[in-house]
Structure 1
Amino acid sequence: MALGSSMAAGPGIGPRAPGAPFAAGRSARNYPHLVAAALGLDLTDVTYSGATTAHVLRERQNGAPPQIDALDGSEALVTVTIGGNDVGYVPLLMAAALPRFTRSLPLLGPRLRDLLDADAREAALAQVAEALVAVGQEIRRRAPRARVLFVDYLTLLPPEDHPARPLSEEDATLGRHVAATLERLTGEAAAHTQCGWVRAAQNSAGHHAWSAEPWTTRPGLPWPGRATPLHPNAAGMRAVADMVVAWEP
């Protein structure tokens, strides 16, 4: 059973998963599909692009029921990648990549400035900590026999000594802080709820989007047949699948 957002769904990585809603952006080569194939497991994949912890726990998304409702207690393995949309992580990076004048536009500007406001991101991070724990607890309650793995986000941004153009250094620093805090909170939620933690962020630091062998994509426009900007590419999905298969407590 796979729960989570676009970082697990794999938008833009072809082919699309059969029967998946178009808006879900669910790939037949995302890490849940690759893990299921490697382990010989039947797969139920309810990952959905744009999902938040609320969409996992209680809210419908484009007509789809809360993801947690897919659990029936028969699961052997449950993976979950969630939290980034709660804190505006990828939207922050998308905003930072836009020309600076867009922050002054009448309708778009206020939203961009909010995404790039450090205090607003800090407040969002404070709220997601409790939500991640709730996700782990509810999965545990509904799938008591399953191995439950929190899978955190692949590294998108380069280290501080490496430019991340077109992002300014100030915006890249904020992005790194959000990513690092989200990584830490995911690990804390996993420990608190006695779930496993697959450390995709830590294991992909050398494969950021600006590296020679990236597992994620840089900012830009989405193009058919290519992984969505600021998301895992096919190599990244394969790497995460390998991490999940190899995970040991």
Structure 2
Amino acid sequence: MERIPEDADLVTITAGGNDLGYLGAVINAALTATFEGRPATFALANLLRKDIPVPSDADIARTADGLRAVVEGARRRAPRARILLVEYLPLFGAETRPGLFTSAQLTQFAELQHAVGEAYARTGMETVAVSREHALGSAEPWVNDYRGLLRLSSSFHPNAAGMRAVADAIAGQLDR
């Protein structure tokens, strides 16, 4: 919070997914699938394999409370700023098909993705949402697919089109 200028006009915050294990579960499943497919690393896949979390109502409420606390901290730092919670770009949607992930995993990830959105909704704070139609597998995804071990840090994160979409959504929200 100390990096937020006290005279800021606008603060945008995207957070909460890690609280519910969302991106960690996606990356873990991607790595497990990668290592499973190679005889030399199959044993490592078994060590990495974890269940995809199923957040409870209490987990979602705790995440919403955490998001509210982050917003309140930003508000204390920049009391005149408009503070927007910016939802994660969706990774999984109707056009996402099994491949790296199984159908069951895709269903579980969609539920986790929904839980993160529910946590945002429960905050009661001003929230910016983006289209759900640009997930992996769509004609124009706004997030990077799994990019392999050497480019893991950019996997499942917004691409340039996604960042433009987020900027446009924020601008649209500011016009309201």
TM-score range, shorter chain: 0.7 to 0.9
| Matching residue of 1:153 | 88
SS at match of 2:2: helix
1:137 to 60, 72, 77: 72
| Matching residue of 1:170 | 104
Distance 1:134 1:165 in 2: 38
Distance 1:146 1:215 in 2: 28
Deviation at 1:170, TM superposition (A): 1.2
Change (3 A) 1:222 1:110: closer
Distance 2:53 2:36 in 1: 16
Change (3 A) 1:237 1:222: farther
Deviation at 1:138, TM superposition (A): 1.5
| Matching residue of 2:11 | 78
| Matching residue of 1:179 | 113
Aligned residues: 168
The 5-angstrom pairing of residues 42-121 of structure 1 reads 68-97=1-30, 98-99=32-33, 101=36, 105=43, 109=46, 112-114=49-51, 116-118=52-54, 121=55
Structure 1 position 236 matched with structure 2 position 162: yes
Partner letter of residue 231 of structure 1? H
Q: What residue ranges of structure 1 are gaps of 5+ in the alignment? A: 1-67
Change (3 A) 1:163 1:127: same
Change (3 A) 1:141 1:176: same
Partner letter of residue 129 of structure 1? A
Deviation at 1:187, TM superposition (A): 2.5
Distance 2:143 2:170 in 1: 17
Partner letter of residue 50 of structure 2? R
CA contact (8 A) 2:93 2:136 kept: yes
CA contact (8 A) 1:75 1:143 kept: yes
Deviation at 1:86, TM superposition (A): 2.1
Q: What residue ranges of structure 2 are gaps of 5+ in the alignment? A: none
Distance 1:156 1:172 in 2: 10
Deviation at 1:158, TM superposition (A): 2.0
Instruction: Work out the percentage of aligned pairs sharing the same amino acid.
Output: 31
CA contact (8 A) 1:207 1:215 kept: yes
Deviation at 1:110, TM superposition (A): 5.5
Change (3 A) 1:223 1:148: same
Write the deviation string for residues 84-123 of structure 1: whole angstroms up to 9, x where unpaired. 1222212211222332859x847x6465314x243xx447
